[in-house]
Structure 1
Amino acid sequence: MNHNTNSSVRLLISCQDQPGIVSSVSTFLHQYKANIVQSDQYSTDPSGGLFFMRVEFEMLEQNFEIDMLRTAFSDVAQSFQMDWRMELKSRKKRMAIFVSKEDHCLLELLWKWRSGEIDVDIPLVISNHPDLKEQVEAYHIPFFHIPVTKETKQDAEKAAIQKLLDYDVDFIVLARYMQILSPEFVGTFPKKIINIHHSFLPAFIGANPYAKAFERGVKLIGATAHYVTNDLDEGPIIEQDVLRVNHRYATEQLRVAGRNVERIALARAVTWHINDQIIVHGNKTVIF
């Protein structure tokens, strides 16, 4: 069967577990002539825990309106007090990238974007340093240098937020952006900022994790991709990856190995976000 992505829709739901949820969703989709292509669900505890569901379906009527469908579904959602969203598969998300001087995560994303592995639009890259301007513009992507100092941090953030709004950005990836974002910035884009932290959280939070890891003689190093919240390095974890190391690795070798893990973990997290595979609940994620 050939799937028409123009009529493919993804529905993500979380609510208290209770009888009739799956039946109500299925009945609704049947009423609106939708064909379920994939359905995944997870319950933390069938006797009154939390329920999570992701459904991918196709509308058999070609000229349906997604807004009309959302309005119609809101009645079902209300009856179960659902936290939910409905996304058109064909609508490309607009991803902004923030970067400082290190280029490994940025280049991984740009390479995967150009090869079609990451199916997004990248309307702009913002950096607090000018160093990566040429590399970004080689991909014909606008690069904006917005320097940040203690004195100018507030104005710099305002300028960055304005750019993101001007370019109608859906979500932001911090590809080793070495700045702490203010609560105002985070609050403007809730659950829409993905960061890569260069250690296996919650171990070695903050700066210089590889030096700390070397001092502790770790046997595994890792990287953690997570959504940004106001608690530094403590937002909902999306993906983690690790690499085995030993006492022969100096700090710099740990850093090189770590970069490889960072690139992989971040690209995977971005892919899941783009594909609407993540439900954030509290400080955790459920990934389908």
Structure 2
Amino acid sequence: MSTIAPYILTLRCADGPGIVHAITGSLLGIGGNILEQAQFTDEDSGIFSLRTKFESPQSIEVVRAAVEAAAAPFNAEMSLRHESDRRRALIMVSKFDHCLVDLLYRQEIGELPIEIPVIVSNHMDCEHIAKRHGIEFVYLPVTPENKSEQENALLKLTAEHNVDVVILARYMQVLSDALCSQLSGRIINIHHSFLPGFKGARPYHQAHERGVKLIGATAHFVTAQLDEGPIIEQEVERVTHAHTANDLAEIGRDVERLVLARAVRLFAEDRIMLTGKRTVVFQ
């Protein structure tokens, strides 16, 4: 059995003939062996997306040069890394800690292949959780007067810690348009409803008032439009007329944990490709 460390390659470009042939041919040329491959063409946009897991005895510099040369005629956006190089996540949280605790647990037992160097909050409620896990906790209280300053501090933290993704684990502040733009495709939020229904605040109360029979949670990329970003993962749970708004919130917390963990894992494994307002998710 091979002991060569595997690579993960992702590629996105306008669809056309010869893309797969060119990329797989370049991998063969460096002694590559494909272990897993998924591809999809979005017919609405004409965008081709590809994710390949492969092994090669060559260095990442040699591999990158070969794949970039093969992809050049297609003007493709691509990423390449060793599978063992874990994505680094900055988690933001307010007072509700259930999603944060779940992510930390899954990361510690090896279910989430990420590193978590820092936790940021606009409240002090979760500081003890960060300390218990040996993770830096940064308190950034937000007011209308200091919002811009605190977001600049957040950007500085992402740079200092080489952060790949910012996870909003029930962080109850609306991010500015400027921040959303600077971190486009790198902020994942968990919204406690099945979008596009019940956007904004108190969605469980909105759902209760409408007498819904299904509640859910949605993990999505954050954009300047509140709760309108490309959807990554969703799940629902059946409820009845007998459930109160508080019951819905209690049931919903379990759904939120599950959906956010799935979305983070998909990001960590480079399985999400953005295509306009939608995502291609290679399960």
TM above 0.5, yes or no, is: yes
- Equivalent residue for 1:170? 164
- Which runs of 5 or more residues in structure 2 are unaligned? none
Aligned to 2:118: 124
- Alpha-carbon distance between aligned partners in 1 of 2:204 and 2:239, rounded to the nearest angstrom: 12
Within the candidate set 149, 154, 162, 1:160 is matched to 154
Higher mean Cα deviation, 160-169 or 204-213? Answer: 160-169
| Gap runs ≥5 in structure 1 | none
Shift of 1:75: 2.6
**Which residue pairs with 1:24 in the alignment?**
22
1:266 paired with 2:260, answer yes
Across the aligned residues of Structure 1 and Structure 2, the Cα RMSD in angstroms comes to: 1.6
* Structure 2 equivalent of residue 285 of structure 1: 279
Checking the alignment, whether the CA contact within 8 Å between 1:35 and 1:60 is kept in structure 2 is: no
What amino acid maps onto 1:176 in structure 2?
A: R
Give the Cα separation in 2 of the matches to 1:282 and 1:44: 10
Does residue 109 (structure 1) correspond to residue 107 (structure 2)? The answer is no
The answer as to whether partners of 2:19 and 2:71 remain within 8 angstroms in 1 is no
After superposition, the Cα gap between the structure-2 partners of 1:119 and 1:81, relative to the gap in structure 1 and judged at 3 Å, is same
Q: What is the CA distance between 1:44 and its match in structure 2?
A: 3.2
Cα contact 1:125–1:143 (8 A) shared by 2: yes
Aligned equivalents of 1:203, 1:3: Cα separation in 2 = 48
**Is the contact made by 2:27 and 2:66 (CA closer than 8 Å) also made in structure 1?**
no
User: Which one-letter code corresponds to 1:60 in the other structure?
Assistant: P
Cα drift, residue 2 of structure 1: 4.4
Amino acid paired to 2:93? V
AA aligned to 2:269 is N
Q: How many residues align?
A: 282
Q: CA deviation at 1:140?
A: 0.6
Q: 3-state SS of the aligned residue for 1:14?
A: strand
**Pairing of 1:65-76 with structure 2 (within 5 A):** 66-76=60-70
Out of 207, 212, 219, which is 2:213 matched to? 219
Indicate which of 54, 57, 61 corresponds to 2:54.
Answer: 57
CA offset at residue 45 of structure 1? 4.2
- Rounded Cα–Cα distance in structure 2 between residues aligned with 1:128 and 1:105: 16
SS in 1 for 2:117: coil
**1:201 is matched by which residue type in structure 2?**
L
Letter in 2 for 1:132: C
2:178 equivalent in structure 1:
184
Question: How big is each residue's C-alpha offset from its partner over 1:67-92, in whole Å with a ceiling of 9 and x where there is no partner?
Answer: 44323322322212222222221111
Which residue does the alignment assign to 1:11?
9
The worse-fitting range, judged by mean Cα deviation, of 50-59 and 102-111 is: 50-59
TM-score by length of 2: 0.95
1:136 aligns with 2:130: yes
One of 231, 239, 261 as aligned partner of 2:225 = 231
The TM-score with structure 1 as length reference comes to: 0.94
Answer yes or no: is 1:250 the counterpart of 2:244.
yes
SS in 2 for 1:151: coil
**Partners of 2:123 and 2:139 within 8 A in 1:** yes
Q: Which residue of 1 aligns with 2:192?
A: 198
Identity %: 43
* Alignment-mate amino acid for residue 207 of structure 1: A
Aligned pair partner of 1:145 in 127, 139, 142: 139
Distance in 1, matches of 2:148 and 2:36, equals 45
Report the Cα distance in structure 2 between the residues aligned to 1:29 and 1:243, rounded to whole angstroms: 44
CA displacement, residues 167-204 of structure 1 (integer Å, 9 cap, x when unaligned): 22111100000011112222222211110001000000
Q: How far did residue 95 of structure 1 move?
A: 0.8
What CA distance in whole angstroms lies between the structure 2 residues aligned with 1:88 and 1:265?
Answer: 26
SS in 1 for 2:114: coil
